[in-house]
Amino acid sequence: MDIDRIIEKAGGADEIAALAGVGLEAVRKWRQSRMVPTKHWPALLRVPGIALQDLTADLTTTETQQEQERETDVSNPCPPGANAALVLADGTVLWGRGFGAHTDGAVGELCFSTGMTGYQETLTDPSFAGQIVTFTFPHIGNVGTNADDNEAPKMAALGAVVKEDITAPASWRSHEPFAAWLRDHGRAGISGIDTRAITRTLRDNGPQTAILAFPENGRIDTDSLLNRARQWPGLEGMDLAKEVTRPKRAWTEGVWHSTKPVRENRRRVVAMDYGAKDNILRCLVTAGCDVTVLPATATAEEILELKPEGVFLSNGPGDPAATGTYAVPAIRKVLDANVPVFGICLGHQLLAQALGGKTYKLERGHRGANQPVKDVETGRVEITSQNHGFAVDEKSLPADVKVTHVSLFDGSNEGIASTTKDAFSVQYHPEASPGPSDSFYLFERFVAVMDRRAKAGA
């Protein structure tokens, strides 16, 4: 029986996931590999209409197909002009021209970004850890790279997929060509790819596991690459915040060319770094904060020892439920200490968990700089920048947590606020400013909360 038929017999993806005790991401991978792992067979055999021969037939068919592929030239020599490949776990092989650093295969979740500019900021955004980024805008790399546009010291994304070949830099701000910058970061890119086709696949079928290969010896074994892609476990259940967080440090740099007056009465803020972008920290400083950054694993005691007037929860990569195993207990103690809290992206998801909610993996993540979000209280629509594959489950929120923002694309949650604590958060990136300044008010709101608390305590 075909895997899709098995899922249908079980009552759909949600039902079969609950029956097998897995997440929807696992079901998606079953569809990619065209079979159900044997350890889940006993649970599925309890479903009327599913018999052992249905599961074994599916496995046998898959193995037969793989054997036939091995008997035909599995190495699939590169077509003329190609020296790199992007292989998806569903068996799709896309040939192209590699640039940047050579790699025998970087495997991760393939996603797309709709930004027309800011490729350097995108690739250094720690939220893209574990992901290969496909750019929908065809001309990437044309303006080169510079030392100012990084959002973190290291490139977080695993690789870049683009349509057109990289040209020479055409900007007075460029310090280094894009391909050379990728080599410096040990990452590869691939050009000559139909990025619109990839985007349609991701839009219709959700994120796909993929592997990007640009080997130095030019030998590309697509069968081996496909096997590696199918073995990758996926982002669900993966804690990546520990991999991208940075040590304790003070942050004093504000937004460049800001016209806002410098505040005299500044507020002490601890920024939890789950993968913080530098521009977020700049926005906090410009809004009137003296910022101390702590690593993702900092305890509540380490946070409260600094006597913060507010705690900021940053963006970051991976599964919020996995990061929450150590982050949520610390956040709860901060809330119990009656310290104001403001979170964005992963920080939003962690705050929701600390307040009693849950998160889930989106079938289609939100990534790009043109995401419309509605403030449900004011009716105002903001054009936002987003990068997340997980979301807060509104149905799981307790009565003392209200929804403040929603996505106008799919209706998913984009913001919450506690009605009993000075704590609020948004799913999007207010510091990215695609609006260009639609969302800076959130940083000012955070400071206003601390100002009010300071005035009341005086």
Q: Is 237 annotated as a binding residue?
A: no
Q: Is 390 annotated as a binding residue?
A: yes
Q: Is 275 annotated as a binding residue?
A: no
Q: Is 234 annotated as a binding residue?
A: no
Give the Cα separation of 177 and 280 in Å (integer): 26
Our CA angle for 268, 442, 375, nearest 5°, is: 155
* Surface-to-core class of residue 114, CB atoms within 10 Å of its CB (0-12 exposed, 13-18 middle, 19+ buried): middle
Given the residues 236, 309, 382, 431, select the one marked as catalytic. 431
Q: Is 425 annotated as a binding residue?
A: no
Q: Is 186 annotated as a binding residue?
A: no
Our CA angle for 352, 355, 357, nearest 5°, is: 55
**Residue 253, number of CB atoms within 10 A of its CB:** 12
By the 8 A CB rule, do 373 and 345 touch?
A: no
Q: Is 316 annotated as a binding residue?
A: yes
Given the residues 348, 366, 388, 429, select the one marked as catalytic. 429
- Please say if 151 is a catalytic residue: no
Q: Which residues contact 275 (CB under 8 A, 6 or more apart)?
A: 125, 126, 127, 129, 152, 156, 240, 241, 244, 245, 296, 314, 315, 316, 317, 346
Three-state DSSP at 411 gives: coil
Given the residues 111, 185, 345, 405, select the one marked as catalytic. 345
Q: Is 435 annotated as a binding residue?
A: no
- Please say if 444 is a catalytic residue: no
Of 128, 183, 116, residue with least CA distance to 152: 128
- Please say if 63 is a catalytic residue: no
| DSSP for residue 339 | -
Binding residues, as ranges, are 127, 316, 318, 346, 349, 387, 389-390
* Residues known to be catalytic: 345, 429, 431
Binding residues for L-glutamine, as ranges, are 127, 316, 318, 346, 349, 387, 389-390
